[in-house]
Structure 1
Amino acid sequence: MRIVFAGTPEPAVVALEKLIASHHDIAAVITRPDARRGRGRTLHPSPVKALAQEHGIEVLTPTTLKPGTEDGDALRARLAEIAPEAIPVVAYGNLITEDLLGLPTHGWVNLHFSLLPAWRGAAPVQAAIAAGDERTGATTFRIDQGLDTGDILATIEEAILPTDTADDLLTRLAYAGGDLLVQTMNGLEDGSITPQPQEGEATYAHKIATDDARIDWTRPADVIDRHIRAHTPGPGAWTLMGESRLKVGPVSSVAAAELEALPEAAAVRALQPGEVHVAKNAVMVGTGSSPVRLGKIQPPGKKMMNAADWGRGLASQGSCGTDSTDTDEVKFS
């Protein structure tokens, strides 16, 4: 089947690789224009563009798809020449206008990383982890004018592990979803797929802003754990210590037996939300329920580091309570 692929970031690369390896004809790729990044603010191609160029695939980079614009009209003219039978989409990042939706025979087919109608929107993987879902998946569906509301073509399920960060889960879904997208193209080609309307209650996963990743230490420990993992690695869960913003890596609960074995067990049990206690080889933080152990932390201007090493630095400066030193209180907020 003759295909034009639309996608931009790294998770879309896996799907494009699998489509290139299939029997389908990838006639062109639509992706976002080169973006400036890094200290030098130099232009860099999207990951999808870089892969397409490696394989000699034509790349289209319109700034907009709106009709009546130079880029939008040029894209329409080129798509009319290519006459794709389907346009699979993975995290493209540009609004597809209504007149374009009917251009391919089988429409624009989106790969979305949830079991629709659950977690429609921009951040379904993060939302599923933060909500404590035990299972998620990937869905291919035919794009319409709604927000992820189109008819479903195929789905797969994936378990969410208790230690999954957003990066862990998205990586697995990208590979499984890439296979699903190829299978969907195969099914559309041979007529074995029948689109089905979405059923059930819809939930929504809005685009994540940096402020959304701030940790609320008054929440229960399990909620904080999920919140941190959902925002790892990007934008990164964070907290304030005074005026300093620190990024916080995944945390772990402190088992009751382990807590009782600590010489400072009473002090750790008494921690209020956000209060920090440095033990010999660990850093504990109070929450709205039980204390948690920090795994990694990133102070301003430094790289992510082991929390125990960071805690020893605090203790040596006399800035956090330990079992052996009387020091000032440190609290996250």
Structure 2
Amino acid sequence: MSKFSSMFGFMLLASLVSVGERASACSSCGSGGADPVILNPYENHKLYLGLSHQSGFRDIDHHGKTRKSYGPEQKQSFDLAFAQRLLPKLFVSAVVNFGRNVHGSDSEMQNGDVSLNARASLVQPNIAEPWIPQIQVMAGHRFGIARSIYDQKRQHGLDVFGAGYDETYLGTDIWYGMSTVMFGGSVIFGLPREAETDAGRVQPGRMQRLIGTLGGMPWDEVKIIGGLIHEQRGGFKLDGALQSNSDRLNHDLFLTLETLYSEGSNYRVTLNRRAAWGENRNAAQANALTLAWMRAL
């Protein structure tokens, strides 16, 4: 494996774990996406505050073998998001992130990347016809403004809080949520931009994410959703040269409990295990807990 391949492996730890956590957070349609804050049909504005803690990091190489991580031992992040409805079936949202990386007694705090997202409903569910699903299309863009692995200055990547490149997301989400058993799925594609960095000109491969969910409402106004995530990304280029064995594959699990009160505040708890099942390659294994507060304004 090349010297840069080792750097690339740490990039997975430093950036993809935090991105993957946001992707697993259940939305109103249950299947998640690239945006943590979702407007229900009766909501026009919503504020979201999320606090996550990640630990238990292990690196997985291109052979699928697990080894000790050389990055932060713990990562905490705070997400602030706001969603605004523009049309009856269209809303947009913005997400900013602040993080803290910890290794031993040393730590650092910095801002993370910024994301803008949009969702449009093509088909709305109807309680009189529970077999008709909600169908949404979604688009998003992450701006790689935070310090990344390519320009890190500190040991163990304590100052790494971003991906290092912009990426556009496109996808669709289908959710059957009008019956006792709820289920759905999402397909999301990531189109990364080439970026000039201190390490050289980097071009990550394209990403594909598949999310499947299943759950229900065991109590009034409380939803529990569990899901599987399959994510893969093509090979990585540095200064136009494809790095050998740099494609990525990971399979995650998540479980979310969320309140669904029509008035006042709502709360969400999400447990996430990255690289938890199936084949994983050039991936980062970690555990994450996210606590979120949401309120329609």
TM-score (norm 1): 0.26
Structure ranking higher in strand proportion: 2
TM-score computed with the length of structure 2 as normaliser: 0.29
When Rg is computed on C-alpha atoms for both structures, the one with the higher figure is: 1
Structure number having the greater helix percentage = 1
